[in-house]
Amino acid sequence: MPSTMDGRIEEAFGAPVGQLYEAAQEPEAPVALTRALELRSFLAVVEAHVARVRDRVHQATAADGDMDALSADDLRMDAQWMAAALSARNDQRTALGELLRTMPAPATAARRRPARFTRYKIPTTLPPAAPASPRAGAAPARRP
């Protein structure tokens, strides 16, 4: 399902949302892409709920609707649900907008690669010892 931020996401990552979801499955997928798509998924669900409640209210209050079917309790519950859904939508849009604003530019992100460390082998045995000097371990001589 689409979201209102799809255009900004596509612009930021340079591909349609469907392709971005495929790219996010790759092991080398940028963290920003994964997070943006997670936020986008939440946003799409919230926006679907907002549309569903809006359509229900419109249907209940339609000019040609049955006035006897109107219920103040139902409309009050829809208003509370709409307030919660809109609040969640605003939070998701804000978080996604902040992520898109602060992430590195695509050209910069493409140039940055994860650091690769060279693993050096550390020998587990010591090299052969040099021969001990003839005085090794001898007690110091007494001086008069």
Question: Is residue 104 in a domain?
Answer: yes
43 within domain boundaries? yes
Question: Per the domain annotation, does 124 fall within a domain?
Answer: no
Q: What are 75-122's pLDDT values in tens digits?
A: 999 999 999 999 999 999 999 999 999 987 654 444 444 545 455 555
- Residue 74 included in any domain: yes
In a domain, 130, yes or no: no
pTM attached to this predicted model: 0.68
- Let me know if residue 133 belongs to a domain: no
User: Domain of 50?
Assistant: 6-111
Which stretch of DSSP H or E encloses residue 61? none
> Would 140 be classed as within a structural domain?
no
Backbone angles phi, psi at 120, to 5 degrees: -95, 140
Q: Do the domain assignments include residue 125? A: no
